[in-house]
Structures are given as structure tokens and as C-alpha cells.
Amino acid sequence: MAKKVLVLLAIIPLLLLPGGCWDRRETEDLLLVDSIVFGKPNTGDTGQYRVSFITTRPSSGGGEQMGASGEEGTAQAATQWEVSSYGTTLEEAIRKFSIRSPRYVYLAHNRIIMFEEGLAKEGISQAVDFLLRARGTRLRNYVLIVKGDTPDLLTSSPQFEDTLAGELYSILETSVGEGDYYYPSDLNIIAQGILTNGLDPWAPFIETFSTDQASDSSADQPVIIRGTALFKADRLVGYLDAEETQRFLLLKGLSNAGYYDIEINGRKLSYRYEQAKVRRRLTVEDGRVNVSFDVTLKGLLEEIHFYSNLSKTEIASLEKSLSAKAEAALLGTVNRCKELGSDALGIGRLIHSRKPEIWKEYSKNWYSIYPEIGIEINVKAQIAGTALGTKPIVPKISE
């Protein structure tokens, strides 16, 4: 009997552990942050940081409410709430907000981290370091760069989701595998890019755009992902537009799908590749490293603006033209990265991993050697078919 009583007494303190003990915090006491934006105020005080939070207004989180008649349900959408706080350090800015917040600022459910352009140009390593130390931050948090003014972004309205963070998160999630014009980058990729020699960080960038040219109201300005921001070490050095991003992602092996539109003798054609293989090769000539990307694309003709029965010869000729177009476009993207001085493609890491003895020399002065590295692109575009149609629809009158 005494033993049973002792066992029961021993179980009581164990029950404190799941209860949370000193740490008991109910969900309704938490301010679940959806997104954090790090920036610098436009006041000219360069020593100040601005940290903005995008959250769901706690009182609106209840979901559906019934109308007075009880017959009709009126959905109460969760409303977005934005707040900014300032400090000489990031911690101070967050602390200032925590002091006046009636709820605990809870970062463990945060999904998106944004860096404002001004701060990103100065360098994001301190902010990344701060985030890695912060309790609750996850390395899976997506990172975005905000081109333009943060205040515009904060007051812009989401179009499909309840909050801006929710909308951006959904856009980034659905982009994976689509191979379109953006690909999510997260805190892990950014931090690795800052730390690793021969590999620079990159992240999609967003800006607001106006659907109504006459309207000045930022509430009418939804946010759009425009392309990719490139960094040199931890500093933002420039942007790739949507088309360049598609090529950048293809060369990085992150995208398997994309489009090429070509025009032959004024006749337009649209090709969508759905399979892509990228093989990276290194060759050494006279002690100099050259990098070759062998790209194989396989896809369908989606749109043809001319009549053709698409014979084998014609297909071969189109493939040749498409390959040339893709080669020029991919090389253009590589050159754009070089111009900006950003090795986000990881050319340095490629040399490091395959030719470590050469990298020993290169690593000492990589950023000045990088623009001189010979990069060759070989594309083999294959037309696998003509989508679900066979011959183009041509009006009889033209025949």
C-alpha cells in the first residue's frame, strides 16, 4: 500500500511537465507572428533598425460567426495586423514591441522573413545571426527581399488569403515543382550562402504593384513576386527579372519546367519544356578552369503561329533554333550574375568540390577571378510532341 502511495506521489510532479510548469502559456495569450520584416527607417538615422510584424489580429481569429437569424453563416475573415517597432539593435526593436503588446510575441509559427532593400544592401548577416539565435525561429522560414518601400508593403492588401504572409507563403509553396518564375529560399539557404566560400545567397524579391493606375491608395496594391534578388556575400547587389530567374533556377537544378518563345521569319512559336537535365562539367586548360553546363530540355510545342505538318526535318530545325535561343538566354543570365558580382549559381563551390587543389588558389581572390571564369552553355532542346493538338488551326481562307 505504502509503495502504491509513493508511486502515486511520484507521478504528481511528472504531471507538471506536460502542464508547462512555470511556462504555462495559453494559446489566447500568444501573438502568433506570421511574418517579420527587417529594415531601416527612411529618416536618415542609419543606426536604427525597423522590425515590422505581420500577424492576424487576435480578436478576429475566431473563424465563422452565425448571423442574427441563425440561418445564414457570415464568415468573419481573420484580419491582418501590421505593426512596426524601432531600435538601435534588432533585439531592442522587438523588445520595445513586446513591452507594449498585451500578448507574448510568438515566433515559432512565423513563416516568412522579409528584408527590406535598404538593409539588404548594407548586409543581412547581423539579422540572420540574430534570427539563428532567437528562440522559436525555424530555418525553414522563407526569405523574401522587399524592393521599394516597406510601408507600402505593410499596407498592401492580400488578394486571396487572409493575411499577406499567408498569401506569399501559398504563392511560394505552389511554385515548387512548377518551375516558373520564382523558387523559395529559406533561412538555411541564406545562412549557408553567407558562410560558404564560392556560393552566394539568393532569394525571391517582391514589390507592390497597382492594379488601378488611377488609384494612389496602397490598399489597392497587391504584392507580386517579381524575380530573384542576388547577393554578394551578405549584401544585395541586384535583381534578376522573371525570365532570368527561370533560367537561373534551371541552371541551379531547381526547375524542370519553363518556356521559350521564338520567332522564325516573323512566325511565332511557343515551346514549354517539362523535363530538364543539367550536367555541370569542369575542364582545365592551361591551368584555367572552364565550366560547362550541358542542358537537355524535353517539351512540347504549345503554340504555333504558322501552318506546318511538322516533318522530322522541320522538327529538327525547330529544335536547333530553340537550342540556340535557350543557350543565348542562359548565357545572358550567367553574364548578368557575373556583372552583379554574385556567385549565387555556386560556380566557386562547384570548383571547390571537384577541383579542390585549384580552389585553394582561387579561394584567396574568388570575387576577382569569378568574372573571368569561362562558362559555356550547351543546350539540346527536344520537341517531344505538339501537346494535345496535331496540326495548327488555320482558317481555310488562307489556304
Partner 1 sequence: MQKYGISAGQIIGMMFWTIMGTAVISLPVTIGLHAPRDAWAAAVLFTIGGMALGLIVGALANRFPRKDFVVYTQQVLGTFIGKLLILVFLVWLFHTIGLVLWQITNFVKLSLLPETPIAPIMAIVLLPSAYVVYDGIEGIARSSQVVFLPTVIILFFLYLLLIPDVNLQNLLPVFEDGAANILRSSITPLAWAGEIMFLIFLAPSINKINKTAKYSIITMALIGFGGFIGELFYTGVFGLLRQHVSNPFYSLIRYIKPTAFIERYDILFVTINLLGNFVKLSVFLYVFVLCLSQWLGMKSHRPLVLPSSVALLFSTQYFVSSPNELVLFLDNVFPLYTIPLLYGFPSLVLLVAVIRGIKG
| Residues binding partner 1 (CB under 8 A) | 7, 10, 13-14, 16-17, 20-23, 132, 135, 138-140, 188, 191-192, 195-196, 346, 349, 352-354, 356
The C-alpha cell at 90 is 534588432
Cβ proximity of 345 and 337 under 8 Å: yes
Smallest gap, in angstroms, from Cβ of residue 324 to partner 1? 30
Q: How far is CA 97 from the centre of its chain?
A: 28
Cα distances from 255 to residues 83, 164, 204, 243, 370, in angstroms, run 36, 25, 14, 13, 24
Smallest gap, in angstroms, from Cβ of residue 234 to partner 1? 14
* CB of 96 or CB of 252, closer to partner 1: 252
Smallest gap, in angstroms, from Cβ of residue 55 to partner 1? 18
* CB of 109 or CB of 305, closer to partner 1: 109
* CB of 108 or CB of 394, closer to partner 1: 108
Smallest gap, in angstroms, from Cβ of residue 85 to partner 1? 22
DSSP secondary structure letter of residue 49: E
* CB of 21 or CB of 99, closer to partner 1: 21
* CB of 4 or CB of 312, closer to partner 1: 4
Smallest gap, in angstroms, from Cβ of residue 12 to partner 1? 10
Cβ proximity of 111 and 156 under 8 Å: no
The residue type found at 230 is L
The C-alpha cell at 196 is 560558404
* CB of 136 or CB of 385, closer to partner 1: 136
Q: Is 260 helix (H, G, I), strand (E, B) or coil?
A: strand
Smallest gap, in angstroms, from Cβ of residue 253 to partner 1? 10
* CA neighbours closer than 13 Å in the CB half-sphere of residue 317: 9
Residue 308 CA to residue 335 CA, distance in Å, equals 36
Please name the residues in contact with 321: beta carbons below 8 A apart, sequence gap of 6 or more: 262, 264
